[in-house]
Structure 1
Amino acid sequence: MNFTYPKSEKLKSKKTIDLLFSEGKSVSKFPLRLVYIESDYGIATDSEQKIKMGVSVSKKYFKHAVDRNYFKRVLRETYRLNKHLLTENLDKPYAFMFFYQTKERLTYQEIETKTIQLFEKFLVQIKKEE
């Protein structure tokens, strides 16, 4: 199992990000939210290339960049360690934006358990849509 978060997996395309916000669907597990859209990348056969992921923490809740950066690092890390839940169960490529949406300062363990629950909820929703 590959626990990496390579540059090729990072969501950087402005077009895709705009699509996420205009047409994307979302799933939430307070305080985390995952906005997703099925993407049409020319994706290789690598299972890791099925996903493009971006993270975001609101300036509204965390005024200082230091705090926002800390939570972005935590989100990236919880994604990196648990992305196998997504890659093993997805057939099509997806683009995701991962949000932390509260003023509460949750611990790493709390965020990780919420991330796992969120990914499981996402997979259930995807199965319903098919």
Structure 2
Amino acid sequence: METLKKNYEFSRVYRKGKYFSGQYLTINVLENIYGYSRIGISVSKKAYKSSVKRNLYRRRIKEIVRTGCFNLKQGYDLIFVVKKTEQIPPYREIEKEIIDLLEKAKLILKNEENNNQVD
């Protein structure tokens, strides 16, 4: 999975995309012209002052998406925006929220859809 790196890529998704909010995260979604999905992760200094905490959150999100037990639809730009909380939630809670938000955005393929896409 590719990553969003440039400021204009993030701006385009924020301006034209849809967003889905949860307790810990907001996911911004926009269809792209590529045949693959790209992700971006935004953890502000306002949310977590310590760079160690920001990077821990970022690494957890990347790992959940990389090893996810879900099949993502291809061709979308996703931005995960972290909300401010007292402490970083446990890995499983972040994972559950990401899956819930991706289902809300209808970006997780069901097994039948995945099999049809391969044929």
TM-score tier, shorter chain, comes to 0.7 to 0.9
Q: Which runs of 4+ in 1 moved over 6 A?
A: none
CA RMSD, Structure 1 to Structure 2 (Å): 1.9
Larger strand fraction of residues: 2
Aligned ranges 1:1-130 → 2 under 5 Å: 5=1, 9-41=2-34, 43=35, 50-82=36-68, 84-87=70-73, 90=74, 93-104=75-86, 105-123=88-106
- Which deviations, in whole Å up to 9, do the C-alpha atoms of 1:41-65 show, x marking residues without a partner? 3x3xxxxxx2010111121120111
- Which deviations, in whole Å up to 9, do the C-alpha atoms of 1:56-112 show, x marking residues without a partner? 11211201111100100011111112274313xx5xx11110122122320111111
Q: TM-score, normalised by structure 1?
A: 0.72
- AA matched with 2:13: L
Query: SS of the residue aligned with 1:36?
Result: strand
Using the aligned pairs only, state the percent identity. Answer: 32
Any conservation in 1 of the 2:26–2:82 contact (CA below 8 Å)?
A: yes
